[in-house]
Amino acid sequence: MILSHDSTGSGPAVLLLHAGVADSRMWDPQRAPIARHHRVIRCDLRGYGDTPLTNARYDNASDVKALLSSLGERPVAIVGASAGGHVALQVASEWPDLVSHLVLLNSAFALPATRSLQRFARREDALIEAGDIDGATELNVATWLGPDADDEARALVRTMQRHAFQVQLGAGEDIHQEAGPDIDLEAISAHTLIVSGGQDLDHFRAVANHLAGRIPGAKHTQLGWAGHLPNLERPDEVTALITDFLDEFPR
């Protein structure tokens, strides 16, 4: 299966990987500005947006590699948010020649969950087990958007998360997602920018510090105002952050 995707613009390729609370629509504010000087590719991982779940075995990193191969793109810059950041790390670690730049917005990584993340997971599980999908959706909107997010951003996250719940819960138990490649942070050769949010859960700030200390040459910027999805909270500021970093190390 080739992931559902779209592309616009021309020039060096930039792949945008969405968070687990979202789908490719989360990049609506960044798509056109970045496409002024790049080919921008957005995709929906399996179970999100327009990419369905099937009973075939899969892992997200291999899906992304297959998509890039089908498009004939290498190397690419990858911008990954949250769970999309974890996939980006897998790709950049397993196939370093495929990735020239890596921008990680509050990336996920396998560190022990902090108490705040554990509390969120317990609340979400309880709501889903009770069949309260609206409640679980609102919990995600409240948790993953910072104070600067406007009503439009909250409505978009609400729509994306509810759709993901519907697709994933509707697929039943016969889903065979595999972990994918192990991540060797020291094997990553891409120019790397790590972005963390001062208003995000403490778990993701710990992840950002961990990544910054282990990816060779990585830069770390903490945005004091930002929650978990800063590109939707202050779109123009984060777009400039991404494009300035890509321009700093031209291909």
First to last CA, the chain: 30
- Taking the C-alpha atoms of residue 6 and residue 87, their distance in angstroms, rounded to an integer, is 18
The whole-number pLDDT of residue 139 equals: 98
Cβ-count burial of 52 within 10 angstroms (0-12 exposed, 13-18 middle, 19+ buried)?
middle
Neighbours of 214 (CB within 10 A): 14
The whole-number pLDDT of residue 41 equals: 98
The answer to whether 102 and 208 have CB atoms below 8 angstroms apart is: no
3-state secondary structure of 138: helix
Q: What is the pTM of this model?
A: 0.97
Secondary structure (H, E, C), 209-249: HHHHHHCCCCEEEEECCCCCCHHHHCHHHHHHHHHHHHHHC
Neighbours of 251 (CB within 10 A): 13
- Taking the C-alpha atoms of residue 156 and residue 64, their distance in angstroms, rounded to an integer, is 24
The whole-number pLDDT of residue 250 equals: 80
pLDDT digits (tens), the chain, 251 positions: 899 999 999 999 999 999 999 999 999 999 999 999 999 999 999 999 999 988 889 999 999 999 999 999 889 999 999 999 999 999 999 999 999 999 999 999 999 999 999 999 999 999 999 999 999 999 999 999 999 999 999 999 999 999 999 999 887 777 787 889 999 999 999 999 999 999 999 999 999 999 999 999 999 999 999 999 999 999 999 999 999 999 988 87
Amino acid at 27: W
Phi, psi of 188 (to 5 degrees): -75, 125
- Taking the C-alpha atoms of residue 152 and residue 182, their distance in angstroms, rounded to an integer, is 37
- Taking the C-alpha atoms of residue 231 and residue 176, their distance in angstroms, rounded to an integer, is 31
The whole-number pLDDT of residue 210 equals: 98
- Taking the C-alpha atoms of residue 151 and residue 97, their distance in angstroms, rounded to an integer, is 40
3-state secondary structure of 168: helix
